[in-house]
Amino acid sequence: MPDPSTDRIATAPSRGIDEPVCRVEDLTVDFETADGLVRALRGVSLEIGRGEILALVGESGSGKTVLSSCLLGLPPASLKTTVGGSVVVAGVDMVNGSDADRRVARRQTIGAVFQDPLTSLDPMMRIGDQVAERGATRARATAALEDCGVPEPGMRLRQWPHQLSGGLRQRVSIAAAITAGSSTPRRGPGVDTAQASAGDGVPALLIADEPTTALDVRVQAQIIALFARLRDEHGCSIVLVTHDLGVAAQIADRIAVMSAGELCEVGSTEQILRDPQHEYTKSLLAARIDINRMPVSITERSRVVAERRDDDALRLEGISKHYPKAGGRRGEIFTAVDDVSLTVPAGGSVALVGESGCGKSTLLRIAAGLTKADSGGVHVAPGSGRPQLVFQDAGSSLTPWFSIGQGIEERLRVQGVSRREAPDRARELLAQVGLDARAAGARPRALSGGQRQRAAIARALASDPRILLCDEPVSALDASHASRVLDLLDELRASLGIALLMVTHDLAVARRISDETAVMYGGRIIERSASEQLFAEPREDYTRQLIAASPSVY
Amino acid sequence: MSRLASPSGAVDAVLTPPGRGIRGFASSFRRRRVGIPERVALVAIVIITVALPFAPLLAPYGSTAVAGAPFTPPGIDHLLGTDSQGRDVFSRVLVGLGASWFGAIAVIAFGVVLGSIIGLIAGFAGGIVDTVLMRLTDAALALPATLVALVVVAALGPSLQNTLIAVAVTWWPWYARIVRGQTRAIMTMPHVDAARLGGFSRTRIALVHVLPGSIGTVLIAASLDVGAVLLVLATLSFIGLGSPSPAAEIGSMTADGLTYLLTAPWVALAPATALFVLALLANFAGDGLRELAE
């Protein structure tokens, strides 16, 4: 596997922008919604050169996805939308051009890869048919699958999307995207056929919207390497939409930073990362939780707390959990958690890292008492109260028809707080997590992602727990919110002595928050040690792979 | 007819977005997110619901009183003419519609309450309780309304009240299935796990953290069913299972009028058309409610 990080910055300038594949000029997109006009894009101008990877980076709501769908000539149709300006891809205006022209362009010139390959692939269509849908031969489809690193491509042609893993599915959808225009090129009235293809039937422009966000880090690294190869071997231009500067840093030639519908800054990857000009870019970089850069204060504090601890808040002993195997024969079982023992010291923090399906979330649910273990025991230190859980999707963890205040007061009432005192106490808790007292009257849907997670933490605190179990608490949040929520959790640990057990797929988060890190693989804990030691000198090969694959801007 | 008329089963397990309360509905209505026919129907249904209890007062003549010569054609004195006994058809239609309308609403209300209770228990408890309750529900669904009505009427005698009982007995399972499906779906949501961690009783979790999530869906389904129930009630009355003559009932009035269809068509057509319009309005209003909820 070629290392995606080698030398990309040095080669960037040599990729000439002689004739851009795509030119965006003064693009504006307005949505009419129930709450008034939303200006999704405000005069964006951009060029994408031949054979370059341009990363489009921004937080949620910055307009990056709207821009990428405009490149496809598919502005969101669900709302009343007004589009101004122009997007010209290989001679076709994707905004003002005729439907026929744009269709031909989508067929031959542009490929698209989406975040969730399970929903972007047709579940009722065999892999082979999907890859060859735009007229490729069977041999060409097989070659494309092989090109994208799908093992045994001949056999995959007959399979269905649900039979493949997430990583394989994403490879398949990339294969489908790069077999555009591989048939005899159909001449559209306005299509510049000389520009339509980057060569070998690979489309000139590939739009990838968060293509690795749903994937594990090791798979993410492979997909990124695949994009680099498409650029280097086929001269394909790629627009990589991502919220993660780390992913952009690994592969992009240039980075365009978006915020609130505007392009803040466009520059070479080197320049954006080392010498950002725009305030917003600087704040994005500063907020990023990066595995190679830890705020000193936090590592210091961890050590202080670690020395103070004396007894265990939570002890898991020999936990096992089996499930009937999905799609298996009767009696076949899948071992989700295999004889795991783990202790969380009072006031300490332990991170449990691993890839999807390794059993970490099941273990956390068992610790919370939401799932029964088949064997083993969960021991909570006397007087600790019931461990509380902080969920990945804070929005759906809050009862939607309750106001934030109601949810907290309900907990307080169970704790024996009187009806009269409950509202005051609820406001105190909200203040403790950094929320305004007005949030008490709001419904969860009225809050932003970060505010919801704070509200959920305040509600958990209402039950006065000594142990907080966190299930990917920041993975759904933008970087700026994520780092502040992690700081909040660390503060609570320091000030209230609440022990944290945090499940995460993101090693940077683990390193930032935990005294100790345990690595889980295949239902077992394969390595566990003090975080600083684990990240500095990983013992297991698997741990080393995880650390190496974690995106970093440094 | 009743089975096919109810579309409720199809919305099993579809989650409604959490309600936005009366103000949300009102603002959606003002912002014209709802089509013109639905808006007209919603307004009409509100007026009808408010006005129909006063039908006996609004009617120009008594619903069973002889008001003029038999078979007087529609005119100034008798808006919709008179029937074979000389009773005023307009007055009888007004009173009959009132009875049908509130009868239908009573059947639906009973169905929603009973169905919600059974669906919630089944969905929340799961396992054997779920199986038993849902098989009972399936059994009730298999009962044809007409046959149940025949049995009830044979046992208790023909009356509007007895046809209501018969239809209510066969109608609740739709709502039990909707609520059960919704409950199962809501139970998988993290906020229910969070409530379990809060240390609340199972009853509290079921009533406070699960049930409200399905109420919107079941009410929308119910509002779409009102028209269908109106028709079923009229059907039963038409075949003679409702209140006996001379009571004013849409179905029996239509049936009686059929005899004179060629000589005095208004006697049969007036109640039939009135019912048709009311059922149509109810369906449009149901659609309007659903659009408001979205």
Q: What is the mean pLDDT of each run of 10 residues along chain A (554 residues)?
A: 42 52 92 80 92 92 89 76 88 87 87 84 90 83 87 89 87 86 47 53 88 87 91 92 92 94 93 94 90 69 55 92 79 89 91 91 94 93 88 92 94 92 94 91 90 95 94 89 91 90 93 92 93 91 94 87
Tell me the pLDDT tens digit for each residue of A205-229. Answer: 999 999 988 888 888 998 899 999 9
Residue B1 lies in a domain: no
Which of A464, A486, A519 finishes a domain?
Answer: A464
pLDDT in tens, B112-157: 999 999 999 999 999 999 999 999 999 998 888 788 888 888 888 8
- A213 within some domain: yes
Number of domains in chain B: 1
B chain contacts of residue A397, beta-carbon cutoff 8 Å: 190-191, 193-194
Question: Which residues of chain A are within 8 Å of residue B190 when distances are taken between CB atoms?
Answer: 391, 393, 396-397
Residue A421 lies in a domain: yes
Same domain, A281 and A428: no
The three-state DSSP-derived secondary structure of A116-172 is: CHHHHCCCCCCHHHHHCCCCCCHHHHHHHHHHCCCCCHHHHCCCCHHHCCHHHHHHH
The pLDDT tens digits of the residues spanning B84-116 come to 888 999 999 999 999 899 999 999 999 999 999
Residue that has been written with the tokens 């139970």 in this structure: B187
Is residue B12 assigned to a domain?
A: no
The residues near A97 (Cβ < 8 Å, ≥ 6 apart) are A73, A105, A190
Interface test with B, best of A401, A410, A461, A467 (most B CBs within 10 A): A401
Three-state secondary structure call for residue A472: coil
Q: Is residue A522 part of a domain?
A: no
Would strands A333-345 and A312-324 be described as parallel, antiparallel, or unpaired? Answer: antiparallel
Nearest to A172 by CA among A211, A220, A130: A130
Domain residues for the domain of A404 are: 399-464
Give domain status of residue A137, yes or no: no
Say whether B213 and A411 touch across the interface (CB within 8 A).
no
**Number of independent structural domains in chain A:** 2
Nearest CA in chain A to B210: A399
The string of pLDDT tens digits covering residues A13-23 is: 444 446 789 99
In a domain, B2, yes or no: no
Q: What is the CATH number of the domain that holds B226?
A: 1.10.3720.10
Gap between the Cα atoms of A221 and A149, Å rounded:
13
Residue A65: inside a domain: yes
Cβ contact B197–A388 (<8 Å): yes
Nearest to A112 by CA among A143, A134, A97: A134
Length of chain B: 294
List CB contacts (< 8 A) between A401 and chain B: 18-19, 212-213
Q: Is residue B37 reached through a cis peptide bond, with omega within 30 degrees of 0 on the bond before it?
A: no
Regarding an ipTM greater than 0.85, the answer is no
Does B6 reside within a domain? no
pTM of structure: 0.82
Please tell me whether residues A278 and A403 are part of one structural domain. Answer: no
- Pairwise CB contact (< 8 Å): B199 & A386: yes
Instruction: Tell me how far apart the alpha carbons of residues A37 and B192 are, in angstroms, rounded to a whole number.
Output: 36
Q: Could you tell me if A25 and A85 are in contact, meaning their C-beta atoms sit under 8 angstroms apart?
A: yes
In a domain, B222, yes or no: yes
A389 to B198: CB separation less than 8 angstroms, yes or no: no
Residues A280 and A406 both lie in one domain = no
Which among B185, B186, B191, B150 has a CA at the least distance from the CA of B167?
A: B150
The residue ranges of chain B whose pLDDT is under 70 are 1-33, 294
Enclosing domain of residue B222: 25-293
Residue A531 within any structural domain of the chain = no
Best residue of A365, A389, A399 to probe chain B, by most B CBs closer than 10 Å: A399
A221 in the same domain as A99: yes
Check which CATH number belongs to the domain holding A276 and give it: 3.40.50.300
The answer to whether residue B260 sits within a structural domain is yes
